[in-house]
Amino acid sequence: MKILLSIFLIALFSGCAENKIINWDGSSIVSAMPSNIKGAKFSVFILDKEKNKKIETIVIEKQLIEGLVARGMIFEDDPKHRVPNYIVMYDYASDYGISTQYEHAFAIIIYALDSKPTQVFKARLKINSTNNDTVKNITLGINEVIEKTFGKSEKGTKQ
């Protein structure tokens, strides 16, 4: 019975995976966040400073912050005066793919600020898409990473 159920589940999930534009094949979560993140303060920075002033960056960063706040973390917007528990670094990129035409990538790296800054989380997600809407596709990526890492939010993340 268990074998039958396993075969059915494998078939079901392989079918679902084909329809999704998010592709975890080239992606990895190399380390897991500490389970108790509720109430922890975090500040957000982009890896590539040149993207700092882009409108896309502002929207993507907002999505990321909302996703983490929805999981109980507290956003610290003044890290200069109030030291956060975590530094969250992220970046995104778009390129021209082949079969799906566009490839997007999203990366998130988190450092815990203990006595010595320690990398506690790192994920890189590849997203294949037929549209070149970076914000829309990266937002999907952000939600995927956050859900996979911290589980679904009761409130849900805003799209």
Partner 1 sequence: MKTLFFLLLLTIHFSLQAASNSAAGGFAGGFADGFNKAQENSRQEQAQELVIIQMRQNFKARYGTKEIERLDFFIKNAEIRLYEIFEDLSRKE
Residues at the interface with partner 1 (CB under 8 A): 2-4, 45, 47-48, 79-80, 87, 89, 91-96, 98, 103, 105, 107, 109, 111, 117, 119, 122, 124
Could you tell me the smallest distance in angstroms from the CB atom of residue 155 to partner 1?
A: 29
Could you tell me the smallest distance in angstroms from the CB atom of residue 103 to partner 1?
A: 6
Could you tell me the smallest distance in angstroms from the CB atom of residue 96 to partner 1?
A: 4
Write down the residue that tokens 């078939």 correspond to.
Answer: 11
Distances in Å between the Cα of 46 and the Cα atoms of 35, 58, 64, 156 are 24, 10, 11, 24
Evaluate whether 88 touches 67 at the Cβ level (below 8 Å). Answer: no
Closer CB to partner 1, 2 or 159, in the complex: 2
Could you tell me the smallest distance in angstroms from the CB atom of residue 99 to partner 1?
A: 8
Closer CB to partner 1, 8 or 38, in the complex: 8
Closer CB to partner 1, 6 or 62, in the complex: 6
Could you tell me the smallest distance in angstroms from the CB atom of residue 4 to partner 1?
A: 8
Closer CB to partner 1, 70 or 89, in the complex: 89
Helix (H), strand (E) at residue 121? strand 117-129
Closer CB to partner 1, 66 or 76, in the complex: 76
Strands of 74-75's sheet in order across: 22-31, 117-129, 102-113, 86-96, 41-46, 74-75
